[in-house]
Amino acid sequence: MSMVPHAFAVDVSVVDFKNNSFTQNPKIFDQIRRNTNMLPSTPSSSAAADTNKERTCDVFLSFRGEDTRCSFVSHLYKDLCRKNIATFIDSEKLQRGDEISESLLTAIQGSRISVIVFSKGYASSRWCLDEVVKIMNCKKLKGHYFVVPVFYGVDPSDVRKQRGSFADAFAKHEENFKHDVEKVKSWRTALTSAADLSGWDSQVTRYCQSIVEITSWPDSTLVDKIVKDILKKLDCRSSSANLKGLVGIERRTQQLVSLFQVGDFLKLGIWGMQGIGKTKLAEAIFYHVLNGFQNHSFLANVREHEESRNLSQLRKKFLSDILEDENLDISTPTIIPSFVKDMLSRKKVLVVYDDVSELSQFEFLFGGIDRFGRGSLVIVTTRNKQVLFQCGMNLIYEAKKLNKYESIQLFCQHAFKSNHPIKYQLGLSRMVLSFANGNPLAIKFFGSSLYGKNKNYQESAVKDLKQIPNPDILKLLRSSFDGLNPVEKDIFLDIACFFKGEDRDFVTRIMEACYPSAYSRIENLIDKSLIYISQNKIEMHDIWQHVGRSIVHYESPSKPETRSRLWIPEEIYDVLTKNNGTETITGIVLDMSKLAKLELEPVAFMKMRKLRILKFYHSCGRTLLLKGLLSLPDDLRYLCWEGYPLKTLPSTFHPRYLVELDMSCSHVEQLWEGKQDLVDLKVINLKNSKNLVRIPDLSSATNLEKINFCGCFNLRELPSSLQHPEKLTLLDFSYCRSIRSLPSFYKATSLTKLHLSGCSNLFSFPEVSSNVTELWLGGTAIEEVPSSIECLSNLRLLDLRGCRRLKSLPTGIHKLKSLEKFNLGDCSRLETFPEILDIMKRLRDLDLSGTVLKELPSSIHNLIGLKYLRLNNCENLVCLPDSLYTLKSLLHLSLCGSSNLVVENLFTAIGDRPVKQKHLPWLSSLKKLDLSESNLENLPTTIKQFPLLEELILRKCKRLKSLPELPPSLVYLDAHDCTSLEDVSSIKKLFEQELFCEDGSNRFLQLKFSNCFKLGEKCVGNDIDAYDSTSVEEVSSIKNLLKQVVFCKSLGWLFTNCFQLDQKAVRSPETPKLEMPFEHMVTALTDHHQAPPRRKNRIKKASLGRIIVTCVPGSEIPEWFDFKSLGSSINIQLPSEWWSNNSWINFPCFVASVAVSFPDSYNGMGFRFTSECHLKSCNGDNHDLSCSFSFTFGSRLSDHVFLVYDGFNVREFVRSKASNNRIYNVASFHFYLDEWNSSKCKVKQCGIHLLFPN
């Protein structure tokens, strides 16, 4: 049985200003002028200037000099300076007194971001602690002040809870500051607050499919990531500052933010017409609240991503943003691995889904995710209000048009660069705004078109508006297009018709081949707000794309063949099949998925001599050239033809101007005969062209940067001309099975990535320059790696997996000082691994799975940065060297399927190592250990000595009989298919650990014992489900267990069909058979007065989001309920003491009970249980709440009683009380069932019980 809580649906209407009409009365104009004088100034105002004047630096660095000044901090400071980020770092010679210096206080207050580098000795410095206090005060006082904690060699929880070295330091401080207890208290509070913020840890957890990897970053990588994060935050500050200057945005933002409450997961929907400012409002909220979330993701233009079939990429971005893993790959959209779900449910995240047009888009992006952590916020913008209801938004806001005063302000800012319009300007405003009707986009662009013009021109232009119908905004915006120079117009139209949403570098490359000074022209379009850049993609507002395409359409409304650009499939079909092409056409982009097929004549392109852009995509098997193709235009700059059906390009085609050739999945055997002039060619892609036999002479392609021939199975040889391209960076010949030899790439000094994986007939190791960083040779026939490999000083990745002929490695492998990842998996003849004669700092990932190694080198301890070691299915491996256990950085050790390995030695070594080694760390960092398919009978008791072990995998350990006491740090245990396992009683101690974190969030413990047939007792976690346990009579341990899970977000006590546990169990809350979790929860809340402040805060947070459900056999509402009624509705009078105290802890809770009648032998799939509450105040005001739960189950053998408590109700009541001071005295409840496959169940009785903590 599962429970899925559904959020409330609250429709919020935000009141807009009164729309006063304009008249010609001068007094009215004076009134308007006085109002506009009071409006906030633009970003270029003196207020903005004062802010910049106060700013002394971008970043302030707080650190313990003795720990990190000469190492990590110095690298971080240099990299920040290299990026032109003004950074304050205190001088080593700065004299230190009892108090923090004035210069440091000024630097903190004048910075935008503070980076706090927590190290082991940080808390021992009073200066450092004073800095943290000042930094956190700045964060509290400033709206957009970022604090970035960096946990360098310390556990974040040690900082948060002042444990370890931080505890030692505070012990001294408390001794030295007996006279000033408040100072020490302020230090502790500041440290806790700072450590609670999202920051950077030197260790990180990565997720990919079902694999969890724990890794530790080298300083260089950590510095790089922190600097990128700071750049993003500085950009966020700039973005936020820019948004503040938008007319009306701050008022609307504050209105919406005021409705947010600290508590559970909130979904906000914003809807309205195109161009009304939905996205800008979402951005404003996003940047306003950004600093309060652990992770965030802004997913722009969802609708367009779906139309271009790139929604999966957007989903990947969303998950990688939230889980902080760029390589995350979850292939099935609606199936999210359980560990990822658990991770997401604990994260407080901020996500914006912009421009969602259909429910299916939201389900695709959000599918498979039950919920995020408490306090998370999801924002969806759309033009269709219905989509928000379908998506389950619980707060819906209609983006309002600008009111008259705001419209005047926006227009005057853009038309006159002033907030103080004179009389004639107000007259112009009236005329324009009656047309624009409050649409910010239309107002902004038309106002800009009048800027700098004289009065006569402005009045004349505005008068012309009378001739244009009010909804015809396109003609209005056309005037901005007419102000562009000819080249800018062409680039604008190309982007509108072909390249919206494409990579900026790609578009710039094509445009530079078509037009002079294209780069600067694109910048001009950005400056004029006609296009914008988002995540390095060129974007354009829908209205502007419509403008551009309309301009092209009206070049020749009835004759598409005489237009400059074609993109509509039906029109392209007509032009090409009728051979109507003309010299006017400069670009064709055809989505062939919109057509069944396209059969072309040989002369289809003969007349299009000025065609520069030709793209057929989604066209594999859909384009036919049954009679061949006589020609292609020589003016082509970009040729993309997926699935090109011929064996070669036309012999008359001379691609002298071609910049990019993309013919993936084509039938080409050879591109052309002889030599061509290819001086402009930069990219060539024939991926998966399975018939390709040879590559033409590319010696003239001196500017070639990327070559991709991946999957060209019949390609036999490579031209020698590939040896010398000066700018070539990427060469991909993966899975070219017929290639037997390669030319030397030694002189290709720009080449950094060489992909040869799957070249199964390639026997020789390639000759490459020392600049290569990635070498992919997996699945080749290489028998040996030459000793010259040690010269590849920049090599970071070497992939030799599946090289089944490889027997040995050169002895100089240790000289690859830059190597980070080395994959030798499934090299089934590899018998030895060379001694590591020197320290290799950067190697972090080593995979030796599937080899026939008999032993590892004793010098493996020189891999001091190793984090992942995989030795799966190494059947000849008998033991591991003792030196392996001293690896300080090792996080993940996998020994799955190495059946002859005596893994007991691993644990014996811990307990029985020599006295002289007792001080050495012994796998002290290990977080994941995989011993699956081993021959273990009993796991040694010394396993509990792994201090950080979080995951233990014991799958298919068929001989394993029992589990010893496990490390308290363990959160995941997988013992699937351990068929001999009998005793797991020791895991009970894991439940004695704290099951919640300091912030009140859950610490999840996952246990898997599937197919463990000899296990005699069930293991219980956060949910108790005794489905069909007909012999259950007593549950005496619930009270004790409740004390441990009091902070769980949801709690289920589900005793379906447990007939021995009869309804007497719920008749009274004091009944010992089933002590009600509701009463114990209230008792726990009542006890908060005796708890320390930090625990009080956790109790508050936890109770607001609590969901408790109980289900037992029965047909009557429990006697102890205050209010009962037959049927599915009940009205109650709320007691006067309901609002008697302003403290939320005294608010009562609603416990609802419904008796559900099931037909005989009911076997439905389940139903959704929904409760609706209608509140009415003394003065007639109303407020509606609703709560839903989904139940899935098998058969029901009798009627059952459901009892539900939902903490969301408490939060809603608190919010209502705080926001409008209304006192509600009547509550009406209605309960109903929405079955999934029938309508046979019904609510027989219902009841309400009020719980008061005091």
Greater model confidence, 175 or 48? 175
**CATH number of the domain bearing residue 303:** 3.40.50.300
Greater model confidence, 312 or 211? 312
Query: How far out from the chain centre does Cα 917 lie?
Result: 44
Q: Looking at the domain assignment, is residue 341 inside a domain?
A: yes
Q: Does 406 qualify as catalytic in the annotation?
A: no
320 shares its domain with 387: yes
Closest CA to 867 of 198, 202, 73: 202
**C-beta neighbour count of 402 within 10 angstroms:** 24
- pLDDT digits over 386-416, tens only? 788 888 888 888 888 788 778 888 888 888 8
Name, in order, each residue with C-beta under 8 angstroms of 620's C-beta and a sequence gap of 6 or more.
Answer: 642, 643, 665
Q: Looking at the domain assignment, is residue 973 inside a domain?
A: no
Residue 271: strand pairing partners: 382, 398
Greater model confidence, 591 or 1161? 591
Q: What is the CA radius of gyration of the chain?
A: 35
pLDDT surpassing 60 at residue 299: yes
Question: Which range scores top for mean pLDDT: 537-541, 1025-1029, 1063-1067, 1184-1188?
Answer: 537-541
Name, in order, each residue with C-beta under 8 angstroms of 530's C-beta and a sequence gap of 6 or more.
Answer: 480, 481, 484, 492, 540, 544
Please give the Cα distance from 423 to 22 (Å, whole number).
13
Q: Which of 739, 773, 807 is the last residue of a domain?
A: 773
622 token code pair:
């859909």
Q: What is the mean pLDDT of the segment spanning 306-311?
A: 79
In this prediction, residue 1067 carries a pLDDT of 42
Cβ atoms of 207 and 328 within 8 Å: the answer is: yes
Q: How confident is the model at residue 641 (pLDDT cuts 50, 70, 90)?
A: very high
803 shares its domain with 913: yes
Q: How confident is the model at residue 1014 (pLDDT cuts 50, 70, 90)?
A: low
Percent of the chain with pLDDT over 70: 71
In this prediction, residue 1182 carries a pLDDT of 62
Q: What letters, b where the CB count within 10 A reaches 16 and e where it falls short, cover 315-328? A: bbbbbbbbbbbeeb
Name, in order, each residue with C-beta under 8 angstroms of 1220's C-beta and a sequence gap of 6 or more.
Answer: 1181
251 token code pair:
């008022």
Greater model confidence, 571 or 1166? 571
Q: Looking at the domain assignment, is residue 1010 inside a domain?
A: no
Helices and strands in the chain, H and E counts? 33, 48
In this prediction, residue 159 carries a pLDDT of 92
Please give the Cα distance from 692 to 686 (Å, whole number).
8
The angle at the Cα of 549, spanning 546 to 550, to the nearest 5 degrees, equals 80
> What three-state secondary structure class fits 62?
strand
- pLDDT digits over 557-568, tens only? 889 999 999 999
In this prediction, residue 1046 carries a pLDDT of 34
806 shares its domain with 721: no
Closest CA to 723 of 688, 764, 754: 754
550 shares its domain with 621: no
Please give the Cα distance from 1083 to 1070 (Å, whole number).
13
Please give the Cα distance from 834 to 840 (Å, whole number).
13
268 shares its domain with 289: yes
pLDDT surpassing 50 at residue 994: no
Q: Could you say which of 54, 99, 131, 831 is catalytic? A: 131
Q: What range defines the domain where residue 95 resides?
A: 46-222
- Sole residue written with tokens 């979850």: 330
pLDDT surpassing 50 at residue 1188: yes
Q: What is the mean pLDDT of the segment spanning 930-945?
A: 86
In this prediction, residue 22 carries a pLDDT of 31
- pLDDT digits over 699-710, tens only? 889 899 999 999
Greater model confidence, 903 or 171? 171
In this prediction, residue 859 carries a pLDDT of 93
1172 token code pair:
């609706």
pLDDT surpassing 80 at residue 1090: no
Q: How confident is the model at residue 472 (pLDDT cuts 50, 70, 90)?
A: low
Residue 1153: strand pairing partners: 1203, 1247
1078 shares its domain with 1204: yes
> What three-state secondary structure class fits 1188?
strand
pLDDT surpassing 80 at residue 502: yes
Greater model confidence, 1217 or 539? 539
**CATH number of the domain bearing residue 192:** 3.40.50.10140
Q: Which of 284-298, 574-588, 1028-1042 has the lowest mean pLDDT?
A: 1028-1042
Q: Which of 773, 791, 818 is the last residue of a domain?
A: 773
Q: Which of 536, 554, 572 is the last residue of a domain?
A: 554
Name, in order, each residue with C-beta under 8 angstroms of 711's C-beta and a sequence gap of 6 or more.
Answer: 687, 688, 689, 690, 734, 735, 736
- Sole residue written with tokens 């324009």: 432
In this prediction, residue 33 carries a pLDDT of 35
1187 shares its domain with 1038: yes
The beta strands (E) that lie in 582-696 are given as 587-591, 598-599, 613-617, 623-624, 638-641, 660-662, 683-685
The beta strands (E) that lie in 1034-1083 are given as 1050-1054
**C-beta neighbour count of 238 within 10 angstroms:** 12
Q: How confident is the model at residue 307 (pLDDT cuts 50, 70, 90)?
A: confident
**CATH number of the domain bearing residue 869:** 3.80.10.10
- Which stretches of 348-439 are DSSP H helices? 359-366, 385-390, 404-416, 423-436
1076 shares its domain with 1178: yes
> What three-state secondary structure class fits 253?
helix
Name, in order, each residue with C-beta under 8 angstroms of 304's C-beta and a sequence gap of 6 or more.
Answer: 355, 500, 501
1039 shares its domain with 1142: yes
In this prediction, residue 140 carries a pLDDT of 80
pLDDT surpassing 90 at residue 1204: no
In this prediction, residue 1157 carries a pLDDT of 78
pLDDT surpassing 60 at residue 1091: no
Q: What is the mean pLDDT of the segment spanning 1199-1222?
A: 58
pLDDT surpassing 90 at residue 754: yes
Q: Looking at the domain assignment, is residue 1014 inside a domain?
A: no
613 shares its domain with 548: no
The total domain count for the chain is 7
In this prediction, residue 1103 carries a pLDDT of 41
Residue 683: strand pairing partners: 660, 706
- pLDDT digits over 867-907, tens only? 999 999 999 998 888 888 888 899 999 999 988 887 766 66
Q: How far is CA 818 from CA 579, 766, 772, 790, 813, in A?
A: 58, 19, 11, 11, 11
Q: Looking at the domain assignment, is residue 953 inside a domain?
A: no
- pLDDT digits over 1139-1183, tens only? 554 444 445 567 777 888 777 655 555 667 777 777 776 655 666
**C-beta neighbour count of 171 within 10 angstroms:** 11
In this prediction, residue 1190 carries a pLDDT of 58
In this prediction, residue 571 carries a pLDDT of 93
Q: What is the mean pLDDT of the segment spanning 31-39?
A: 34
Q: Looking at the domain assignment, is residue 414 inside a domain?
A: no
Q: What is the mean pLDDT of the segment spanning 997-1006?
A: 48
In this prediction, residue 26 carries a pLDDT of 37
**CATH number of the domain bearing residue 509:** 1.10.10.10
In this prediction, residue 479 carries a pLDDT of 64
Please give the Cα distance from 896 to 62 (Å, whole number).
44
544 shares its domain with 583: no
Q: How confident is the model at residue 321 (pLDDT cuts 50, 70, 90)?
A: confident
Phi-psi region of 704 (alpha: psi -120 to 50; beta: other; left: phi over 0): beta
Average pLDDT over the chain, rounded to whole? 76
pLDDT surpassing 50 at residue 162: yes
361, burial (CB in 10 Å: exposed 0-12, middle 13-18, buried 19+): buried
Q: Looking at the domain assignment, is residue 15 inside a domain?
A: no
Q: Which of 816-820, 870-874, 1140-1144, 1194-1198 has the lowest mean pLDDT?
A: 1140-1144
674, burial (CB in 10 Å: exposed 0-12, middle 13-18, buried 19+): exposed
522 shares its domain with 585: no
Q: Looking at the domain assignment, is residue 914 inside a domain?
A: yes
